[in-house]
């Protein structure tokens, strides 16, 4: 047993833009750094630390190390966002830990090592939950000398591309295991694919995971905890590409093409004016290219450097995520962007070199407002096509359609369609989930029921793989799956990678207890009736709430089914048949201190027509989370459904809760039965 009350797992999720590290059992990573790392010396083959444009060590700062050089490169002849720290003389190189689906294992190891240092994981002995300390970071690696022991088992998230050959994947897993056991000295380790973890984070073992990340959009069908190869598809439309498009617009490299698509009509129409020259003063720039004494060709070389493109992406990221577009109510949302007239755009954005882009007065500004639209655009504007291989640039909704149409099993396809889970950093554009839903209605057959689930919490969306890992590593049923160091030493990394993980890539039947039971499938906490014991049957979990025509009843103070029944018995048989309303409650489950409520919480049904129109039933679910996960504390989710009797009605209240849900209250309120005073506003609670 590697994880217990005192020692949690340490989880690392290295994506192509960001690396996230933290402890199992927590609801968010503690350390998030860029996944680009640099080597400060040409002699060192290894990378030494993640690159932070905001906090580069002085050794890498420019010749004089100062910010705000006066000779800035203007917006009209270049883009205006290169790092002021760029050392003109250093041989510093920047590399991303994952590129084109493959992992640079040295860079990957460097990021883990960095996270150990910044979170003081090594040598801290036992539990580190809640522990924080200042990063102790030296680019030359001199501080990497503390203690070498680590008590935490390591769970690595595999976010590499789905199209890797089995051989590549095998060797990648083998290298990751080597790094974890040898370089990082882990007592135990495990590797889990990000799509599966994202599904787990949404309490699902079967889901269609749509991950709009940095490198692009990945759609992966997950069935019973296995990522399927068939149906796994990828498109290059992601955060990085949006940034590149935005950059092209800013630098004025667009082609004039007003006839692209209706939505894009006028995109990049340069006749309406280009970006205005630098307008604002007094803006303290963060990234500037100092052109002092630099030859043209040196300047050009610098603009092509890895630092430059990284800084450029960061500026682009700030720009498309900043609320500079306003729909008048202070709300920015992707749904309304395409319907807007030019005049409706408001606001401005200031680039680091001081250039103010006035959204209302320049064409490019308006185009910039519609950047997120490109995720769904059918046809790309010409200048965008230049930078993209069209086959690999499928729009997000079409990608989902493509994935589903590769699933031959009807039943599974239906299940996946109703469990589309939206995750990833670039899925955080406001209301993107609703927009995706509406686009899907155009491409999926009308008979197919689908549902897009996206957490309202941005952190949950961006760090879903981490959160899934956090849940997984806390499960009792997962503990037997850790690979121990002893096993590694006896078997060797390559064989271990094949033995323990190959079946997941190839989706063969599990032989090693995978997938572990998610809490939602464990039947631990059964909802019981508390207040209205005579109305509810705790065994079948059914309520039998009697309904009756109000004019047939003159019996205030009616309390339970028995007395209702006696009134039925004494009723005139010629009166219309009194119908029953019943609903079946869901069950709530718990595992390892983490409680789950399954996605469908309650179903209720009016079995027969009822005789009065004024009746309504409301069912509410209150969930109070109390635990070590801060997000759970005091959380109350309330779902209400009103049923108008008078017709045969089925209703469903669905909600899903994950995290540390400790108390679930289900309440039924029956309204509108004026003659039954006990029913009016009555709340039957189950705890």
Ligand X SMILES: Nc1ncnc2c1ncn2[C@@H]1O[C@H](COP(=O)(O)OP(=O)(O)OP(=O)(O)O)[C@@H](O)[C@H]1O
What is the binding site for ligand X (CB under 6 A)? 15-18, 159, 211, 213-215, 239-240, 243, 317, 321, 424-426, 428-429, 462
To ligand X, the closest distance from the beta carbon of 130 in angstroms equals 24
Q: Which is nearer to ligand X, 239 or 515 (CB)?
A: 239
- State how far the Cα of 212 lies from the Cα of 376, in Å rounded to an integer: 12
- State how far the Cα of 519 lies from the Cα of 595, in Å rounded to an integer: 7
SS3 268: coil
To ligand X, the closest distance from the beta carbon of 243 in angstroms equals 6
The candidate with the shortest Cα–Cα distance to 110, out of 37, 29, 33, is 37
SS3 443: helix
Torsion over CA of 313, 316, 320 and 323, rounded to 10 degrees?
A: 120
Q: Which is nearer to ligand X, 204 or 240 (CB)?
A: 240
To ligand X, the closest distance from the beta carbon of 233 in angstroms equals 14
- State how far the Cα of 8 lies from the Cα of 124, in Å rounded to an integer: 12
To ligand X, the closest distance from the beta carbon of 462 in angstroms equals 6
To ligand X, the closest distance from the beta carbon of 213 in angstroms equals 2
Q: Which is nearer to ligand X, 321 or 587 (CB)?
A: 321
> How many helices (H) and strands (E) in the chain?
17, 30
Would strands 154-158 and 188-193 be described as parallel, antiparallel, or unpaired? parallel
- Token readout for 451 is 């549902």
> How buried is 509 (Cβ within 10 angstroms: 0-12 exposed, 13-18 middle, 19+ buried)?
exposed
Total count of residues recorded for the chain: 687
Q: Which is nearer to ligand X, 37 or 426 (CB)?
A: 426
Which residues does residue 218 pair with via DSSP β-bridges, in sequence order? 211, 234
Q: Which is nearer to ligand X, 205 or 246 (CB)?
A: 246
- State how far the Cα of 674 lies from the Cα of 615, in Å rounded to an integer: 9
Q: Which is nearer to ligand X, 323 or 556 (CB)?
A: 323
Would strands 207-212 and 217-223 be described as parallel, antiparallel, or unpaired? antiparallel
Q: Which is nearer to ligand X, 319 or 597 (CB)?
A: 319
- Token readout for 246 is 């935005």
Give the H/E segment covering residue 74. Answer: none
State yes or no: cis peptide before 515, omega within 30 of 0.
yes
To ligand X, the closest distance from the beta carbon of 653 in angstroms equals 30
To ligand X, the closest distance from the beta carbon of 211 in angstroms equals 6
The answer for 345, left when phi > 0, alpha when psi is -120 to 50, beta otherwise, is beta
- Token readout for 205 is 């073992």
Q: Which is nearer to ligand X, 34 or 128 (CB)?
A: 34
To ligand X, the closest distance from the beta carbon of 437 in angstroms equals 18
Q: Where are the beta strands (DSSP E) in 626-676?
A: 642-643, 649-654, 661-671
Q: Which is nearer to ligand X, 243 or 586 (CB)?
A: 243
Torsion over CA of 507, 510, 511 and 512, rounded to 10 degrees?
A: 110
Q: Are 460 and 428 in contact (CB under 8 A)?
A: no
To ligand X, the closest distance from the beta carbon of 338 in angstroms equals 17
Longest dimension (CA), the chain: 103
Q: Are 466 and 195 in contact (CB under 8 A)?
A: no
To ligand X, the closest distance from the beta carbon of 317 in angstroms equals 4
Q: Which is nearer to ligand X, 463 or 543 (CB)?
A: 463
Q: Which is nearer to ligand X, 236 or 549 (CB)?
A: 236
Q: Are 532 and 684 in contact (CB under 8 A)?
A: yes
Q: Which is nearer to ligand X, 432 or 617 (CB)?
A: 432
- State how far the Cα of 475 lies from the Cα of 518, in Å rounded to an integer: 8
To ligand X, the closest distance from the beta carbon of 15 in angstroms equals 2
Q: Which is nearer to ligand X, 220 or 589 (CB)?
A: 220
- State how far the Cα of 586 lies from the Cα of 665, in Å rounded to an integer: 11
Q: Where are the beta strands (DSSP E) in 411-504?
A: 420-423, 452-453, 483-484
Q: Which is nearer to ligand X, 212 or 597 (CB)?
A: 212
What would the DSSP string read from start to end of 481-531?
A: GPEEHHHHHHH-HHHHHHHHHHHHHHTPPPSS-PSPPPGGGS--B---B-S
- Token readout for 441 is 């209605």
To ligand X, the closest distance from the beta carbon of 264 in angstroms equals 20
To ligand X, the closest distance from the beta carbon of 227 in angstroms equals 15
């Amino acid at each position: 047993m590697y994880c217990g009350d005192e020692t949690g797992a340490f989880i690392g999720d290295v994506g192509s833009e960001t690396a996230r590290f933290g402890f199992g059992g927590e609801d968010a990573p503690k350390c998030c750094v860029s996944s680009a790392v640099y080597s400060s010396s040409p002699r060192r083959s290894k990378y030494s630390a993640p690159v932070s444009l905001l906090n580069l060590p002085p050794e890498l700062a420019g010749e004089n190390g100062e910010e705000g050089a006066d000779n800035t490169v203007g917006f009209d002849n270049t883009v205006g966002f290169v790092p002021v720290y760029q050392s003109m003389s250093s041989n510093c190189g920047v590399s991303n830990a994952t590129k084109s689906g493959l992992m640079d294992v040295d860079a990957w190891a460097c990021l883990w090592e960095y996270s150990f240092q910044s979170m003081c994981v090594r040598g801290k002995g036992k539990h580190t939950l809640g522990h924080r300390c200042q990063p102790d970071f030296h680019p030359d690696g001199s501080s990497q000398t503390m203690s070498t022991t680590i008590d935490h088992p390591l769970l690595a998230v595999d976010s590499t591309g789905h199209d890797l050959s089995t051989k590549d994947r095998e060797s990648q897993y083998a290298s990751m295991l080597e790094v974890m056991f040898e370089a990082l000295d882990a007592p135990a380790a495990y590797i889990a694919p990000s799509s599966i973890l994202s599904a787990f984070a949404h309490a699902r073992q079967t889901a269609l995971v749509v991950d709009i990340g940095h490198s692009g959009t990945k759609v992966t069908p997950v069935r019973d905890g296995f990522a399927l190869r068939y149906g796994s598809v990828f498109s290059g439309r992601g955060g990085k590409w949006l940034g590149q498009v935005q950059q092209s617009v800013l630098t004025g490299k667009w082609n004039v093409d007003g006839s692209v698509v209706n939505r894009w009509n006028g995109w990049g129409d340069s006749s309406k004016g280009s970006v205005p020259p630098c307008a604002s003063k007094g803006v303290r720039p963060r990234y500037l290219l100092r052109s002092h004494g630099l030859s043209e060709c040196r300047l050009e070389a610098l603009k092509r450097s890895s630092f430059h493109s990284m800084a450029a992406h960061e500026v682009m990221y700030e720009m498309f995520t900043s609320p500079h577009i306003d729909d008048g109510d202070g709300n920015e949302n992707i749904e309304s962007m395409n319907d807007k007239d030019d005049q409706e755009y408001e606001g401005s954005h200031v680039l680091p070199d001081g250039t103010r882009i006035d959204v209302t007065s320049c064409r490019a500004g308006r185009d910039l407002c519609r950047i997120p639209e490109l995720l769904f655009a059918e046809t790309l504007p010409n200048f965008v096509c230049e930078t993209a291989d069209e086959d690999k640039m499928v729009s997000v909704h079409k990608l989902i359609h493509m994935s589903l149409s590769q699933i031959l099993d009807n039943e599974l396809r239906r299940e996946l369609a109703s469990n589309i889970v939206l995750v990833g950093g670039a899925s955080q554009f406001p209301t993107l989930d609703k927009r995706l839903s509406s686009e899907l209605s155009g491409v999926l057959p009308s008979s197919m029921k689908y549902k897009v689930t996206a957490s309202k919490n941005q952190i949950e969306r961006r760090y879903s793989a981490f959160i899934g890992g956090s849940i997984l590593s806390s499960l009792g049923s997962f503990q037997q799956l850790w690979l121990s160091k002893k096993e590694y030493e006896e078997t060797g990394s390559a064989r271990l990678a094949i033995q323990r993980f190959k079946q997941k890539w190839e989706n063969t039947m599990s032989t090693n207890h995978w997938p572990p039971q998610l809490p939602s499938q464990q039947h631990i906490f059964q909802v019981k009736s508390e207040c209205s014991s005579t109305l509810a049957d705790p065994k079948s979990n059914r309520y039998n709430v009697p309904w009756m025509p109000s004019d047939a009843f003159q019996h205030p103070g009616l309390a339970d089914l028995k007395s209702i029944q006696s009134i039925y018995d004494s009723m005139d048989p010629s009166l219309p048949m009194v119908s029953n309303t019943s609903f079946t409650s869901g069950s709530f489950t718990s595992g390892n201190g983490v409680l789950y409520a399954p996605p469908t919480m309650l179903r209720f049904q009016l079995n027969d027509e009822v005789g009065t129109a004024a009746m309504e039933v409301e069912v509410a679910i209150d969930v109070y989370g109390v635990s070590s996960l801060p997000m759970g504390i005091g959380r109350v989710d309330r779902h209400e459904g009103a049923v108008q009797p008078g017709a045969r009605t089925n209703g469903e209240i669905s909600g899903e809760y994950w995290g540390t849900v400790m108390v679930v209250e289900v309440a039924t309120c029956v309204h509108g039965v004026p003659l039954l005073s006990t029913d009016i506003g009555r709340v039957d609670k189950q705890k």
